Amino acid sequence: MALVRLLFIAFVVLSVIYLSLSLYSRARARDRLEAEYDAGDFDIPRDAYVRAGLVEYDSSLRRKLILGVYIVPMSLVCLIIYLVNFA
């Protein structure tokens, strides 16, 4: 039960961090695209340019790296368990 409780609390806390980080990162990407558009000379409208850029962002490595929010603490826990009990 203690394990279930730990997993539940960790999941909630990490999900909050994950959500905030991904929203923040997406907003940054949008800002970057808008600045890019304003600086350069493009044929397509601003909206379409930004939307296309965000679609590209959605499948980028940077977005997937945010999953590290879940992976890093879990690996850390596994490492501590190994070091404390089996090393």
Partner 1 sequence: MRYIGWTILITFWVCLAAFLHYTLPQRDIVRIVSTYEERQELNDWTRIFWSRPDEQSDAQITRDVQFITGVRANGKPTVYRNEDTGWSWPPYFKFDTANLYTEANDAISTKDAPEWYVIKHYGWRNEFVSSFPNAISIWRVDGPDAFKGIYWTNIIVLTTLAALFIAIRVRWRRFRHARIDPKLEEIQDSWEAAGDAVDEKRGRFRRWLATWKAK
> Of 16-24, 37-45, 56-64, 74-82, which segment contacts partner 1 by CB under 8 A?
74-82
4 versus 39: smaller Cβ distance to partner 1: 4
Task: Please give the structure tokens belonging to residue 22.
Answer: 């991904």
Work out which of 3, 41, 47, 64 binds partner 1, going by CB under 8 A. Answer: 3
Q: How many residues does the chain have?
A: 87
CA 26 to chain centre: 9
61 in contact with partner 1 (CB under 8 A): no
Work out which of 40, 47, 64, 85 binds partner 1, going by CB under 8 A. Answer: 85
Spatial separation of the C-alpha atoms in residues 7 and 47, rounded to whole Å: 42
77 in contact with partner 1 (CB under 8 A): yes
Residue with tokens 């039960």, as numbered in its chain: 1
Contact 73, 10 (CB under 8 A): yes
Which positions touch partner 1 (CB under 8 A)?
Answer: 1-3, 5-6, 77, 80-81, 84-86
